[in-house]
Chains A and B, each alone.
Chain A
Amino acid sequence: MDQRTVELLSGGEMVARALEDEGVEFIFGYPGGAVLHIYDALFKSNGTPHVLVRHEQAATHAADGYARATGKPGVVLVTSGPGATNAVTGIATAYMDSIPMVVFSGQVATHLIGEDAFQETDMVGISRPIVKHSFMVRHASELPTTIKKAFTLATTGRPGPVVIDIPKDITRPDEKFEYSYPESVRMRSYAPSQKGHSGQTRKAAKLLLSAKRPMIYSGGGVILGEGSDELIALARHLNYPVTNTLMGLGAFPGTDRQFLGMLGMHGFYEANMAMHNADVILAVGARFDDRVTNTVSKFCPGARIIHIDIDPASISKTVSAHIPIVGPVKAVLTDLLEQVKSTQSKAEETLPDAGALARWWSQIEEWRSNHGLLTGRRYGESDYIMPQDVIRSLYRATDGDAYVTSDVGQHQMFAAQYYPFDKPRRWINSGGLGTMGFGLPAAMGVKLAFPEAEVACVTGEGSIQMNIQELSTCRQYNTPVKIVNLRNNYLGMVKQWQDMQYEGRYAMSTYEDSLPDFMKLVEAYGHVGITVRDKNDLDAAMDEAFALRDRLVFLDVYVDPMEHVYPMHVAPNGSMKDMWLSKSERS
Chain B
Amino acid sequence: MRRIIAILMENEPGALSRVVGLFSQRGYNIETLNVAPTDDPTLSRLTLTTIGDDRHMEQITKHLNRLVDVVKLVDLTEGAHIERDMMLIKVRAAGADRDELKRTTDIFRGQIVDVAPSSYTIQLAGTTEKLDAFVAAVGDAQILEVVRSGVAGIARGEKVLRP
Residues of chain B within 8 A (CB-CB) of A178 are: none
Say whether A338 faces chain B, with CB atoms less than 8 Å apart. no
Interface residues of B in 31-82 (CB under 8 A from A): 55, 58-59, 62-63, 65-66, 68-72
| Bound CA span A528–B59, Å | 52
Cβ-neighbour of B25 out of A129, A134, A190, A313 (below 8 A):
A129
Interface string of A301-342 (1 = CB under 8 A from B): 000000000011100110000000000000000000000000
Q: Are B63 and A313 in contact (CB under 8 A)?
A: yes
Cβ-neighbour of A188 out of B25, B62, B63, B163 (below 8 A):
B163
Q: Are B17 and A189 in contact (CB under 8 A)?
A: no
| Bound CA span A128–B24, Å | 12
Number of A-B contacts (CB under 8 A): 37
| Bound CA span A153–B67, Å | 11
Q: Are A316 and B58 in contact (CB under 8 A)?
A: yes
Residues of chain B within 8 A (CB-CB) of A129 are: 21, 25
A128-B17, A128-B18, A189-B10 known; A133+B68 contact, CB < 8 A? yes
| Bound CA span A132–B69, Å | 11
| Bound CA span A36–B14, Å | 26
Q: Are A189 and B21 in contact (CB under 8 A)?
A: no
Cβ-neighbour of B17 out of A125, A153, A187, A311 (below 8 A):
A125
Q: Are B25 and A189 in contact (CB under 8 A)?
A: no
Say whether A356 faces chain B, with CB atoms less than 8 Å apart. no
Residues of chain B within 8 A (CB-CB) of A313 are: 59, 62-63, 65-66
Say whether B117 faces chain A, with CB atoms less than 8 Å apart. no
Q: Are A189 and B69 in contact (CB under 8 A)?
A: yes
Say whether A354 faces chain B, with CB atoms less than 8 Å apart. no
Say whether A515 faces chain B, with CB atoms less than 8 Å apart. no
B143 CB, min distance to chain A CBs, angstroms: 36
A395 CB, min distance to chain B CBs, angstroms: 39
Q: Are A188 and B71 in contact (CB under 8 A)?
A: yes
B108 CB, min distance to chain A CBs, angstroms: 40
Say whether B13 faces chain A, with CB atoms less than 8 Å apart. yes
Chain B residue nearest to A135 (CB atoms) is B14
Say whether A374 faces chain B, with CB atoms less than 8 Å apart. no
Residues of chain A within 8 A (CB-CB) of B25 are: 129
Q: Are B65 and A312 in contact (CB under 8 A)?
A: yes
Chain B residue nearest to A134 (CB atoms) is B14
How big is the B interface, by class?
A: 20 to 34
A163 CB, min distance to chain B CBs, angstroms: 11
A483 CB, min distance to chain B CBs, angstroms: 36
Most chain B CB inside 10 Å of its own CB: which residue of A136, A153, A189, A313: A189
| Bound CA span A134–B14, Å | 9
Chain A residue nearest to B10 (CB atoms) is A189
Residues of chain A within 8 A (CB-CB) of B89 are: none
A189-B9, A313-B59 known; A128+B21 contact, CB < 8 A? yes
| Bound CA span A248–B108, Å | 62
Q: Are A312 and B62 in contact (CB under 8 A)?
A: yes
A125-B17, A128-B17, A128-B21 known; A317+B66 contact, CB < 8 A? no
Q: Are A187 and B68 in contact (CB under 8 A)?
A: yes
Residues of chain A within 8 A (CB-CB) of B59 are: 313, 317
Residues of chain B within 8 A (CB-CB) of A317 are: 59
A195 CB, min distance to chain B CBs, angstroms: 18
Say whether A541 faces chain B, with CB atoms less than 8 Å apart. no
Interface residues of A in 118-159 (CB under 8 A from B): 124-125, 128-129, 132-134, 136, 153
B40 CB, min distance to chain A CBs, angstroms: 11
Q: Are A153 and B14 in contact (CB under 8 A)?
A: no
Chain A residue nearest to B15 (CB atoms) is A189
| Bound CA span A128–B21, Å | 8
Interface string of A186-230 (1 = CB under 8 A from B): 011110000000000000000000000000000000000000000
A313 CB, min distance to chain B CBs, angstroms: 4
Interface residues of B in 1-30 (CB under 8 A from A): 9-10, 13-14, 17-18, 21, 25
| Bound CA span A313–B66, Å | 8
27 A–B contacts from the bound complex (CB under 8 Å):
A124-B14, A125-B17, A128-B14, A128-B17, A128-B21, A129-B21, A129-B25, A132-B68, A136-B14, A153-B68, A187-B68, A189-B9, A189-B68, A189-B69, A189-B71, A189-B72, A190-B68, A311-B66, A312-B62, A312-B65, A312-B66, A313-B59, A313-B62, A313-B65, A313-B66, A316-B55, A316-B58
What are the 10 A-B residue pairs with the smallest beta carbon separation, nearest first? Answer: A313-B62, A189-B71, A133-B68, A129-B25, A312-B62, A313-B63, A190-B68, A313-B66, A128-B21, A188-B163
Inter-chain pairs besides A128-B17, A128-B18, A134-B14, 17 sampled, C-beta below 8 Å: A124-B14, A125-B17, A128-B21, A129-B25, A132-B68, A133-B68, A187-B68, A188-B71, A189-B10, A189-B68, A189-B69, A311-B66, A312-B65, A312-B66, A313-B63, A313-B66, A317-B59
Interface residues of A (CB under 8 A from B): 124-125, 128-129, 132-134, 136, 153, 187-190, 311-313, 316-317
Interface residues of B (CB under 8 A from A): 9-10, 13-14, 17-18, 21, 25, 55, 58-59, 62-63, 65-66, 68-72, 163
